[in-house]
Amino acid sequence: MTRPQPQAGSDESELRLWLDEVDKSMGFRPASALGMSCGTVTVDARRGMVLVVWNNRLKLYQLPKGRRNLDESMLAAALRETYEETGLRVTPLRLDIATRATLPRTENSDTTQKPPNITEGHPSNEFVGACFYPDPQSETEALKIVYFFAATAECTDTPNSGTQEDWEKLDAKWIPLSEVSVTLRFAAEVEVVMKAVADMKTSGFTMGA
């Protein structure tokens, strides 16, 4: 925990101590040691259903996700991976998500004020949250970060076949929202679903079932 940021009028020694704390907490990893994956929390709000996949190799339920391709946006990666793993084309949701992304500048932007730490009240396709952990499946040490985006689809839609990579052994399944906490293997992914649903409700969605 770094000390509070120095305020206007702080002396040089206080600023130096603060910068020293920032320096101690700052780390670096090369791109080869950072794994960026993207996925979706896909919800059929009217029926109160959530899209998950059964991993036949690891014998567990998880959210659809996968590694981003070179020069691919995170949202595009999340939608592509969801399609490849489930056979369903899902639609991203514009939600009122509290985010540290800043609003784009316009000719009417007030450039005299520093943007707030948290941007709220502006619907967007920002990610709802991320999970991070040492990648247990990597042959070299890597920190894996998985960014999740909220999306929607009809649980009655028929998935396309043949969308998975040959080595993938995944089965798509829709589960009731009430069963998410006892179905998904990883607690952090349960948190992601709950966060996405909360953001949907804040944005005016009503959950069925």
- Is residue 36 in some structural domain? yes
Domain assignment present for residue 55? The answer is: yes
Is 23 within a domain?
Answer: no
Task: Give the position of tokens 């320096």.
Answer: 23
Name which of 28, 146, 32, 126 is nearest 82 in CA terms: 146
Q: How confident is the model at residue 2 (pLDDT cuts 50, 70, 90)?
A: low
pLDDT of res. 106: 83
The residue with greater pLDDT, 62 or 16, is 62
Q: Which of 63, 48, 54 is nearest to 177 (CA)?
A: 48
Q: Does residue 46 fall inside a structural domain?
A: yes
Q: What is the residue type of 175? A: I
Query: Could you tell me if residue 89 is inside a domain?
Result: yes
pLDDT in tens, 89-137: 999 999 999 999 999 888 787 778 888 899 999 999 999 999 999 999 8
Cβ-count burial of 82 within 10 angstroms (0-12 exposed, 13-18 middle, 19+ buried)?
A: buried
Least confident of 46-50, 79-83, 104-108: 104-108
In a domain, 122, yes or no: yes
DSSP codes, the chain: -PPPPPPTT--HHHHHHHHHHHHHH-----GGGEEEEEEEEEEETTTTEEEEEEETTTTEEE--EEEPPTT--HHHHHHHHHHHHHS---EE--B---BSPPPPP-TT--TTSPPPSSB-S--B----EEEEEE-TT-SS--EEEEEEEEEE--TTSPPPSS-S-TT--EEEEEEEGGGHHHHBS-HHHHHHHHHHHHHHHHTT-----
pTM above 0.85, yes or no: yes
Instruction: State both tokens at 62.
Output: 């998880």
The residue range of the domain holding 121 is 31-100+117-202
**Residue 152 predicted with pLDDT over 70:** yes
Residue 52 pLDDT > 80, yes or no? Answer: yes
Residue with tokens 């991993």: 55
> What is the sign, positive or negative, of the torsion defined by CA atoms of 120, 125, 126, 128?
positive
Is the pLDDT reported for residue 72 higher than 90? yes
> Does some domain include residue 66?
yes
Asked if pLDDT for residue 154 goes beyond 80, the answer is yes
Phi, psi of 144 (to 5 degrees): -95, 130
Distance, CA of 8 to CA of 14 (rounded, Å) = 11
* Best CA proximity match to 45, nearest among 200, 202, 203: 200
CATH number at residue 90: 3.90.79.10
Number of domains the chain is built from: 1
Query: Considering the chain, what is the average pLDDT of its residues?
Result: 93
Res 61: pLDDT: 98
Whether residue 164 is contained in a domain is answered as yes
In the prediction, which pLDDT does 157 show?
Answer: 95
- Average pLDDT over every residue of 202-207: 95
pLDDT, tens only, 8-40:
666 888 888 989 999 999 999 999 999 999 999
